[in-house]
Chains A and B, each alone.
Chain A
Amino acid sequence: MAFLKKTIEKLSAGLSRTRQMFIGSLKSLLSGRKLDEKLLDDLEEMLIQADMGVASAMKIRGDLQQAFTDKRIEAGDQAIDFLKEEIKRYWPESDRSVHFASAGPTVILVAGINGCGKTTSVAKLAWRFKTEGKKVCLAAADTFRAAAVQQLTIWAERIGVDIISGSGSDPGAVVFDACDAAVARKADILLVDTAGRLHTQDNLMRELTKIRDVVSRKIPGAPHEVLLVLDATTGQNAINQARVFSEAIDVTGIFLAKLDGTAKGGIVVAIRNEVDLPVKFIGIGETYEDVEPFDPEQFVEALFA
């Protein structure tokens, strides 16, 4: 469980500044105070500042108030523990695991908006699966952005995994070839990197659906996972992203990237409430080793510890 420790360290290091601000004020905020309107207002502010959104913050606030009314908690000090437990429950064990194919390659489709960190996240996943002893293939289906294929190729070389890229500009064709190649080379995992697209661009979203359809036609049951990469600094717009991407390609989980900054990524709470998507991985740095499975315990501890 060495990586667990590492994650906590990394998360804590990344969050240290905010946490000092957040927790320092939380502690002084809560100790010895009665749970009154003012305290609830202050807590709500903190949740909102963590990007959890007004609706989710209000919901949690309501739960906290209810717990107080029911005498499950009595003073402000207990509110933190209550909040921790409350937020942890958003991500049960069952929906955090990766769904692998029973036979043949497991296809993981990775999508997201421009600049959220897709290509880097694909590299991280590739490294992770490779260290688990799996044979990994990458499909460079971002044929749009300048030098995106080169970027992924460099990652593939560094990590030491296969990469399939086409010469044309049709991502569908790249994916088509990649599926064949993955089967022929007996790969365990095929990671498909797609071009960043804003969820408001209908034509590009349709293109994404098409890419997904190509995958499922080539390999029955695929894609086995569809990951939406979210930048942890994103605000409420992430909910729209999650919703629209889910409609287009049935997202199965979130890769929460850039969690090593001061942003708290609280938006995943709102996304759980609004779109019901679990978080599966987190990205916590710039090298390919900076990836961990999402652990609500750590996520919440890093927020409140």
Chain B
Amino acid sequence: MFESLTEKFSDVFRKMSGRGRITEQNVRDSMRDVRTALLEADVNFKVVTQFCEDVTQKAVGAEVIKSLHPGQLMVKIVQDELTALMGPVDSRIYYVSPPPTIILMAGLQGAGKTTTCGKLAKLLVKQGKHPVVVACDLQRPAAVEQLAIVAEQVGIPSFRVEGSGNPVSVARKSIAWAGKNERDVVIIDTAGRLHIDEEMMRQVQDISSSVNPHQIYLVVDAMTGQDAVNSAREFNERLELDGVILTKFDSDARGGAALSVKAVTGKPIKFIGVGEKLSDLEEFHPDRMAGRILGMGDIVSLVEKAQGEFDAEQAAAMQEKMAKGKFTLTDFLGQMKQMQKLGSMKQILKMIPGMGGQLDAMQMDGDEMRHMEAIILSMTPSEREDPGVIEASRRRRIAKGAGQESQDVSGLIKSFTQAAGMMKQMAGMGTRDRMKMAQNMGQMGMAGGFPGKVKQRSKRLTAKQRANRKKKKRRR
């Protein structure tokens, strides 16, 4: 019932690409589905209307109609437009000299300002800065304490004025304090406020004009609905924002607010919050986001995530094995274990191109992994090295050991063999072919094959490789 936007798009374009040549009417029809998908993703109605109009114009004007691959061209147009709408992005923070650089955070209640202050501070510390967070949320009970705890977790000081009820003076004092204590960045946390609360909006303006922040960020909940445009517009008018930080992106919210906010403020989305940990703040990548929305997956994020979790050396060894076709069930099991560190299977699959739509078909229950593990563990080491030796009697033994049926064992071996074969093939392919292949694999519904596939991805898109590939393309 509630397909994600990704699935929806995959669907629209699967239908289209099956049609061969398409007419102008086809384009308009497919845009109707795109429109619904965007609306269901909480993109503001007016933004959606404008977007669909732009895309239709471009698509009709371009050679979509004459193209032999209208679906592909259409995907490209939609993706480009989405990317253009959400970008360009600039995640750099401009530091001033002499320090301190002053950053002001503002937003509605519950958007995640205080947590984001901590996350941003952590990011700055990583960049070698010495931030201080300033507690100017004197509204919400215990907000000051919360910020202090968060700061402690990051390992930086927090500035507070005991018993003060005046955020303007706290902000002002904090700047002097930062100068004396050699803090080069000041992050000011403010109280959550409604954009129609005149008094509170004036207060945040006062804070702003008293310290003249170098950067003002609006913190927006990624789950916000149609109203995102109203609050973002008002904050932007009052504060002249420099950027937006979207929070709670680790939910299954489709994040249409990203488009809406960008469309009404014109200000770049700087970062996205993707988890409860203080390290869970990422740069925003409109191309990835558009790709994700379009069902082309978010491979790059997955790879980055995987790189964070995987032992690089081990991964390199694994890649070599795969390329040589020497990938065994033991490796497969090891991978599966590492994969589990990445998060739930569903989350991972969502990041793989073309897999979004197949999620339901695959019926992943949480036990799947454990069953596969049990089967592999019930094999002898030599069987794991060479599953070819497993005949009926061994199969029965393994099934018994694993508490599974015989056919489960053969199913696993079959998909493993297929996956291993494909990996070998893919090692020598270009991106496009791989993408296609991954999609085919997905459509085959090979539940057993995916851990290998995901692993494969971590191989193929290191930053260097990507750069190389781009260069090659340009040369062509």
Residues of A within 8 A of B (CB): 14, 17-18, 45, 48-51, 53-54, 113-117, 120, 145-148, 150-151, 153-155, 198-202, 231, 233-240, 258, 260-264, 267, 274, 286
Contact = CB atoms under 8 A, between A and B. Distances in A.
30 contacts: A48-B39, A48-B226, A114-B248, A114-B276, A115-B112, A115-B221, A117-B110, A120-B140, A145-B146, A146-B145, A146-B153, A147-B142, A147-B143, A148-B142, A150-B141, A150-B146, A151-B141, A201-B250, A231-B110, A231-B221, A233-B221, A233-B227, A235-B226, A236-B41, A236-B225, A237-B252, A238-B225, A261-B194, A262-B230, A286-B109
B110 A258 contact: yes
A234 B252 contact: no
B453 interface: no
A49 B47 CA distance: 11
Contact of B2 (A150, A235, A239): A239
Contacts of B221: 115, 231, 233-234
Interface centre among A115, A238, A261 (most CB of B within 10 A): A115
B133 interface: no
A263 B473 CA distance: 47
Given A115-B111, A235-B223, A200 B142 contact: no
B42 interface: yes
Q: Top 9 nearest A-B pairs by Cβ distance?
A: A235-B225, A115-B110, A235-B42, A146-B149, A147-B146, A154-B141, A151-B142, A263-B227, A150-B142
A198 B248 CA distance: 8
B178 interface: no
Given A54-B40, A115-B109, 14 more contacts: A48-B39, A51-B42, A115-B247, A146-B153, A147-B148, A150-B141, A199-B251, A200-B250, A202-B344, A231-B221, A233-B228, A237-B223, A260-B194, A262-B196
A151 B225 contact: no
Interface in B217-245: 221, 223-228, 230-231
A236 B225 CA distance: 7
A18 B221 CA distance: 20
B157 interface: no
Contact of B108 (A14, A151, A201, A261): A261
A147 B144 CA distance: 9
A238 B223 CA distance: 8
Contacts of B344: 202
Contacts of B224: 233-235
Interface SS majority for chain B? loop
Contacts of B139: 286
A235 B251 contact: no
B215 interface: no
Nearest to B112: A115
A171 to B, nearest CB: 15
Nearest to A44: B45
Interface centre among A114, A153, A234 (most CB of B within 10 A): A114
B411 to A, nearest CB: 26
Nearest to A195: B276
Interface size band for B: 35 or more
B304 to A, nearest CB: 20
Interface in B14-56: 36, 39-42, 44-45
Interface of B: 1-2, 36, 39-42, 44-45, 108-112, 115, 139-143, 145-146, 148-150, 153, 194-196, 221, 223-228, 230-231, 247-248, 250-254, 256-257, 276, 344
A260 B198 CA distance: 13
A205 B110 CA distance: 20
Contacts of A201: 250
Contacts of A146: 145-146, 149-150, 153
B112 A14 contact: no
A288 B143 CA distance: 17
Interface centre among B40, B110, B250, B253 (most CB of A within 10 A): B110
A63 B247 CA distance: 37
A37 to B, nearest CB: 14
A236 B254 contact: yes
Contacts of B195: 261-262
A85 B195 CA distance: 31
B41 A200 contact: no
Given A51-B225, A236-B42, A261-B108, A147 B145 contact: yes
A198 B2 contact: no
A101 B140 CA distance: 32
Nearest to B144: A147
Interface centre among A231, A233, A258, A264 (most CB of B within 10 A): A233
Contacts of B256: 235
B37 to A, nearest CB: 9
A267 B225 contact: yes
Contacts of B39: 48, 54
A234 B196 contact: no
Contacts of A14: 196
B227 A236 contact: no
A274 B153 CA distance: 41
